[in-house]
Structure 1
Amino acid sequence: MLRKIFAHNAFFCVLVGVVGLASSCKKSDSNGKGTRAELTKDSIYLYAQQTYFWNAGMPSYSSFNPRKYSSNEAVLNAIKALPSTGGKDKYSFIDDGTVATELGGVGGDYGFSVNYDGSNLLRVKYVYSASPAAAVGLKRGYQVTKVNGKTTIRSSQSDIDNLNNGIFGDNPSISLTVVKPDGSSEDVTIQRKTYNINPILSSKTFNVGAKKVGYVAFNTFTTNAVALLDPLFNQFATDGISELIVDLRYNGGGSVATAEALTNLIAPSAENGKVMYTTYWTKTMRDGAATILQNQKFYAEGNDKVVRLYSYYDYSYKPTIDAGNQEVFAKRGTLNGLIRVYFLVLGGTASASELLINNLKPVMDVKLIGKQTYGKPVGFFSLRIDKNDLYIPQFETKNQVDEGGYFNGLAVNKNIADDLTKDFGDPSEKLLAEALNYSATGNFTSYLKDNSLSSTTGSSRQSIDNANEKLDHEFKGMVETRKLKLNN
């Protein structure tokens, strides 16, 4: 059995790029001839033709003609727009390797993000503890009034563009004017640096009557997160918690293996040995017909302990335990006997976060608080093409009772908007307060809806949500990082 991290830089290997692509193209109408750029466009289409989740009914290479498109992104956008997808593909993208690096727990940006709150004020929504933003004292809830000298008031698309270029662009530094909760204003300059991502933004244990309720704000499923989650859950066990609140409001997903580990930290030991979820790969992959995967090569230690050259084609993609594509519960840690788990979610809660929730729904009492989730029941591994990684959905997951397909997101039990004015773990923050109230009373609060208009600017809630969507640069993905088995 191999340890398979499909993000390319996790292998101690060299994946075959253009050279391998040329050999795969010889079987197509392209005859393996063309410029480097043309062969890359060919490869994007040919990999989709054999591994894409919606590859049934895709046109032939000659009918599609990937070389007619102006860029690699244009080729991918045309694939996403094919009738075979049913308009469902909002997930595929081409990356320069950044995703693989961040999946491993290393950031290279400023380490913070922002959203407009219900009053149409731009606020910091989270800060990673070891990031450059944390080093200058930036905190969740701070109002941002200027970015690189320009106001954050939204009057046109150019205002959103300034925020995207300043906060999420590739500039080496950014200057902000922020207003703190005490009303004082401060100018700060943040330098972009490499830092270690700690996805646990906050954790604590609350006393709710005679009960103890654990809380953790978990922001991304990095591959290094399990080593941080294990001691936290041991502490929860020591504290004697009987209910747990998992704050996934900004968590767009990440490693499948980490989602599996967190599932086993939460799930009751009575489920040990029972099916957790099943992975259903694209039919061409299940049938062993995705021969193009022979070009994605890596060195690894096989079942006989000998290191040799393999390819992604050497794995079995059948939906069985023997193939490694049906996971079973295996209790992790000492926390057991949770009677309920609450998930705090928003529209950006996606993929591996939704996998975690869907895994637990059949086996314990699960409550969702916030807004309907993103809707990404499909996942992928990276395909190395020349100097980039192609991410296209190649599998879907279904839980113990065969539930999946939540392309429109997971519905919440209590609908309420994000409260950016309060820090993570503040019991007066709206989403957390709802969970604590339910724990105490067995009911959610009676008020049903948020204000439809901002009290300060008159902007509609929909207008604010649309602006936040344009500022949402969180990775949304479920990246295959588990152990699969070789065909022989």
Structure 2
Amino acid sequence: MKKLYYLLLLSVFFTTISCFEDLDDNIKPNSASNATIQDFIYRGLNYFYLYKADTPELANDAFASEETKSAFINSYGSPEAFFDYLKSDQDRFSILVADYIELENALGGVTLNNGMEYGLVLYPDGSGNVFGYVRYILPNTDAAAVALQRGDIFNTINGEQLTETNFRSLLSPDTYTIGLATYDGTSVTPTNVTIELTKTAYTENPVYLQRTIVVNGERIGYLMYNAFTRDFDPQLNAAFAQFQSEGIQHLVLDLRYNGGGSVETAVDLSAMITGQFNNQTFYTEEWNADRQEEFSAPGLFNTEISNGDAINSLNLSQVYILTTNRTASASELVINGLTPYIDVKQVGDDTTGKFQASFLLYDAPAPIFSRSQANLTHTYAMLPLVFKTLNATGNTDFIDGLVPDISLREDFANLGILGAENEPLLAAAIAEIATTRSPNYNFSVLKEVGDSNMGNLLEGVMVVD
């Protein structure tokens, strides 16, 4: 029985995704009371929350009567305040959303996007001013049409200087105008060039860049992969088929901006890199004490992607993975899960430190909390942490992130071209593979304060499929 509920929950979640549009016609949002929504929050966290034991009120025997429990649930002024109270201090990642339709779109890789993927850093002068740097440009977007490129710098929005207190509000509108600048490692200088950008609905293919590089006779595959989006598993698998056909001997997997996503895709990607460990344990799960026996199931290396296609495996015994502190959740699962089996060389910066997984809970009966049975008087839903992952040797709880073997941060004054042999992080990996000289870098490290995924509901989320 313990696996039946788990499989049913996953089946209901993904079969209802295809029916969302039909159900949307019946939703009458904002007609539910706070008490109704807060009762759903309590029921969901009481049942599935990983850190249930940290909040005394979530204990099964916390209240002497249903009346006492109802009084507690109704004592909070908003669902958000109630959710925040029930969350554990250990929890940085559980989310409550008022509009699950937007969240469902995000799970499919659909967001409002102008195509400029950027990071935000503080000026080096201590002024509190902020500048943005372009990480990469998404194809067929507004940013691509105006020829923005990686390494471009901007410091104003609609003529107003970005600061550590205003950058979120300035960058939130669907349309805004950036003011370009230069950064020489010391000073930010405006160029008086402005560019207007508009966000539209966009579906991002996370398989961003693939190439094969030959250095000193070594065939090195390079893949920049920016999100674990299950709908694009065939494209990911096709990239590995291309690597197979080109006979690569080494792989550099660029996850520097990959904030995570599907657990199943992480397992499949790891099987694409290897292939020699089928049916061996990739990760195990730790749920709350009430759910552990019923729901815990190991994740195994496998031979098929989600649509049934055979995985194209490289059978490698070593992989180089490029990381920054933006690298999170499913990306970290790949690194941690592969480490007991092959030589994983991490190049870049410490990762985020996200080892817990979530799945989507709607206001519906336990244990499924399914979309098909959701209360149609509101559109609140939760993605709470439900279990943490451990690799085959039990490693978990890396709250400060995974530490690189080769430590190197990005230089905002010299980002380099993604996929180019002299791009600093890739060059460091190539130097180890092909015994070439790795360039020496000396630059001021600036504090990052945000990026283009600030409004992404799934930023840093690892989702059970």
Q: 1:191 to 1:5 in 2, by over 3 A?
A: farther
Counterpart of 2:421 in structure 1 is 427
Which position in structure 2 is the counterpart of 1:313? none
Task: Please say if residues 112 and 128 of structure 1, whose CA atoms lie closer than 8 Å, have aligned partners that are also in contact.
Answer: yes
Deviation at 1:403, TM superposition (A): 2.2
Q: Which residue of 2 aligns with 1:106?
A: 110
Against the structure 1 CA distance between its residues 360 and 404, is the aligned structure 2 distance closer, same or farther, given a 3 Å change threshold? same
CA distance in 1, matches of 2:277, 2:144: 40
Q: What's 1:479 paired with?
A: 463
Matched, 1:44 2:51: no
* Match in the other structure for 1:28: none
Q: Corresponding residue for 1:405? A: 397
Q: 1:484 maps to which residue?
A: none
Deviation at 1:144, TM superposition (A): 1.1
Contact 2:324 2:351 in 1 (8 A): yes
The answer as to 2:223 corresponding to 1:216 is yes
CA distance in 2: counterparts of 1:418 and 1:6, whole angstroms: 39
Cross-structure match for 2:374 = none
| Residue identity in the other structure for 1:114 | Y
**Alpha-carbon spacing, 1:231–1:328, altered in 2? closer, same or farther (3 Å):** closer
Instruction: Work out whether residues 114 and 123 of structure 1, in 8 Å CA contact, stay in contact via their aligned partners in 2.
Output: yes
Counterparts in 2 of 1:236 and 1:393: CA distance versus 1, 3 Å: same
Please point out which of 153, 166, 183 is paired with 1:143: 153
Change (3 A) 1:114 1:103: same
Q: Does the 8 Å CA contact 1:130/1:198 hold for their aligned counterparts?
A: no
> Which residue number corresponds to residue 278 of structure 2?
272
Tell me the equivalent position of 1:24: none
Could you say which residue in structure 1 is the equivalent of 2:366?
A: none
Note if 1:54 corresponds to 2:51: yes
What fraction of aligned residue pairs are identical, expressed as a percent?
27
For structure 1, list consecutive stretches of 5 or more residues without a partner in the other structure: 20-33, 289-316, 320-324, 455-460, 482-488
**Given residue 283 of structure 1, which amino acid in structure 2 is its aligned partner?**
A
CA contact (8 A) 1:124 1:140 kept: yes
SS at match of 2:385: coil
Q: Is the alpha carbon distance of 1:471 and 1:255 closer, same or farther for their aligned partners in structure 2, counting shifts above 3 Å? A: closer
Once the two structures are TM-superposed, the CA of residue 227 in structure 1 deviates from its matched residue by: 1.6
Give the superposed CA RMSD. 3.2
- The alignment partner of 1:263 has SS state of helix
What is the deviation of 1:287? 4.7
1:188 aligns with 2:195: yes
CA distance in 2, matches of 1:436, 1:78: 48
TM alignment of 1:70-469, pairs within 5 A: 70-80=77-87, 85=88, 87-95=89-97, 96-97=99-100, 98-116=102-120, 121-152=131-162, 154=163, 157-158=164-165, 161=166, 163-167=167-171, 169=172, 171-179=173-181, 186-267=193-274, 269-287=275-293, 317-319=295-297, 325-330=298-303, 333-385=311-363, 386-420=378-412, 421-441=415-435, 451=443, 454=444, 461=445, 464-468=446-450
Question: Residues 238 and 287 from structure 1, CA distance in 2 versus in 1: closer, same or farther, beyond 3 angstroms?
Answer: closer
Q: Is there any run of 5+ residues in structure 2 with no aligned partner, and where?
A: 1-6, 125-130, 184-189, 305-309, 364-377
Is the CA contact (8 Å cut-off) linking 1:422 and 1:428 kept in structure 2?
A: yes
State TM-score, norm by structure 1. 0.75
Are the counterparts in 1 of residues 321 and 345 from structure 2 also a CA contact under 8 Å?
yes
Tell me the secondary structure at the aligned position of residue 478 of structure 1. Answer: coil
In structure 1, what is the Cα distance between the partners aligned to 2:174 and 2:325?
30
1:442/1:395 CA distance change after superposition, 3 Å? farther
Superposed displacement of residue 116, structure 1: 3.8
Q: Could you tell me how far apart the structure 2 residues matched to 1:199 and 1:384 are?
A: 27
SS at match of 1:244: strand
Aligned-pair CA distance for 1:339: 3.8
How many Å apart are 1:472 and its aligned residue?
4.5
Would the aligned equivalents of 1:102 and 1:222 in 2 still touch at CA under 8 Å?
no
Cα drift, residue 9 of structure 1: 6.0
Task: Specify whether residues 274 and 104 from structure 1 end up closer, same or farther in structure 2 by C-alpha distance, changes over 3 A only.
Answer: same
Q: Which moved more, 1:351-360 or 1:118-127?
A: 118-127
TM-fit CA distance, 1:132: 3.0
Deviation at 1:469, TM superposition (A): 7.4
Against the structure 1 CA distance between its residues 241 and 411, is the aligned structure 2 distance closer, same or farther, given a 3 Å change threshold? same
More divergent stretch after superposition (88-97 vs 5-14): 5-14
Measure the CA separation in 1 of the matches of 2:221 and 2:421. 12
Give the paired residue count: 407
Describe the shift of the 1:93–1:8 C-alpha distance in structure 2 as closer, same or farther (beyond 3 A): farther
Residue type of the partner of 2:277? E
In 2, the alpha carbon distance for the partners of 1:35 and 1:334 equals 49
Report the alpha carbon displacement of residue 127 of structure 1 after superposing the two structures with TM. Answer: 2.4
| Contact residue 270 and residue 338 of structure 2 kept, 8 A | yes
Separation in 2, partners of 1:247, 1:473: 23
Give the C-alpha shift of residue 115 in structure 1: 1.8
Q: Distance in 2 between matches of 1:199 and 1:390?
A: 25
- In 1, Cα distance between the equivalents of 2:398 and 2:214? 35
- The 3 A distance-change label for structure 1 pair 145 and 92 is same
- Offset at residue 106 of structure 1 (A): 1.6
Offset at residue 88 of structure 1 (A): 1.7
